[in-house]
Amino acid sequence: MKAYVFPGQGAQFVGMGKDLYENSSLAKELFEKANEILGFRITDLMFSGTDADLKQTKVTQPAIFLHSTILAKTINDFKPDMVAGHSLGEFSALVANQALTFEDGLILVSKRATAMQKACEAQPSTMAAILGLDDKVVEEICTSINEIVVPANYNSPGQLVISGSMEGINIACEKLKAAGAKRALPLQVGGAFHSPLMEPARAELEVAINSTKFNTPLCPIYQNVNAKRVTEPEEIKKNLISQLTSPVRWTQIAQNMIADGATEFIEVGPGTVLQGLIKKVNKDAVTRSA
C-alpha cells in the first residue's frame, strides 16, 4: 500500500518548484493561480528570493504547500492508499486526497500562516529539539516547569521538539541536558508552534476552517492530533483546528500507517526530512521522494 507524506515548515529552499513551473503547463497554471489568490508573486520568492524571504512564516507555509500540492497533481498514476502531513503538511495531504480543493487549501494555509506570524510577534517564544531522551522523561520535565513549555513534535523515537516561552525553553533545555539528553538545541523558528501560545491563531483559523467546505476524501488521512486514520469531513475539520495548539504525533502516525499495511512511503514536496524520520521509526520501511 502506498502512503504519501507531505513535509512541513523547515523544508523550504530557494529554487523550490522552479523545475515544475518550467516543465509542466499544469504546474505553471497552478502557480500563476496561486500568485493571483495570494495577491503577490510568491513564485518570485520561491524561485529566486533569499533565504530570509522564505523564512517568513507567511511566505514559508504557502510556498511549501504549493510545492507539495502541485507536485502531487503532476504525478502520473497518483493513487494514494493513505496520506499524512507533518504540521502544515496536513493541508497539502488534504488537497492531495481531495478533501479540500487546491484554492481552498491555499487560502486556509495563507490565513494560518498570517495568524501564526501575528501570534509569534505578540509574544516572543521559541522551540528546541531534544535528542536522546525517552518521550516520558521529556514530558515529565516539561510538566515540572512553572512556565509554558510543552512537547510539540514527536518526530521519531529519541527526537522530540518542545515549544514554549523563551524562559520556559531555556529552563527546559538545562533540565533536559542534566537528565541525560544528548542534545538540547534551540531552533531558528518564529515562535512556539503547537503550544498553548498559538491559541489566538487557533481561534482565528477555526472561523476560516468552519466556513470552508470539506469533502469525503479519496483515502484516509492520519492526522497530527491523534495519529489515527480519519475519513469523516467533520472530524477532519475538528482535528485540523486542534492541530495548532496540540503536538504533532509523527512517530505514532508512521507506526500506525505501517501497522495498517503501508509498504512504501513517498514524500511529496521539498526535502527528505520525513523519509529520515520514518526510517528511525522503522529501519526497514521503504521510502522515496516523489
Residue 188 scores a pLDDT above 80: no
Q: Of 92, 125, 163, 194, which residue is the catalytic one?
A: 194
Residue 158 and residue 156: Cα distance in Å, rounded? 6
Active site residue 156: no
- For the chain, the C-alpha Rg in angstroms (whole number) is 18
Domains and CATH numbers, the chain: 2-121+196-289 (3.40.366.10), 125-186 (3.30.70.250)
Q: Which residues contact 137 (CB under 8 A, 6 or more apart)?
A: 176, 179, 180
Averaged pLDDT of the chain:
96
The pLDDT tens digits for 4-22 are 999 998 889 999 999 999 9
Active site residue 110: no
153, 248 in Cβ contact below 8 A?
Answer: yes
156, 250 in Cβ contact below 8 A?
Answer: yes
Residue 10 and residue 105: Cα distance in Å, rounded? 19
Residue 37's Cα: distance from chain center in Å? 21
Q: 76: buried, middle or exposed (CB in 10 Å: 19+, 13-18, 0-12)?
A: exposed
Cell representation of residue 203: 481561534
Q: Of 67, 68, 86, 87, which residue is the catalytic one?
A: 87
Q: What is the mean pLDDT of residues 266-284?
A: 97
Q: What SS3 state is found at 22? A: helix
192, 127 in Cβ contact below 8 A?
Answer: yes
Residue 76 and residue 78: Cα distance in Å, rounded? 6
Q: Which amino acid is at 36?
A: E
Residue 225's Cα: distance from chain center in Å? 12
Say which range, 56-60, 83-87, 128-132, 173-177, has the weakest mean pLDDT.
56-60
The pLDDT tens digits for 39-78 are 999 999 999 999 999 988 889 999 999 999 999 999 998 9
Q: Are strands 159-165 and 149-156 parallel, antiparallel or unpaired?
A: antiparallel
258, 285 in Cβ contact below 8 A?
Answer: yes
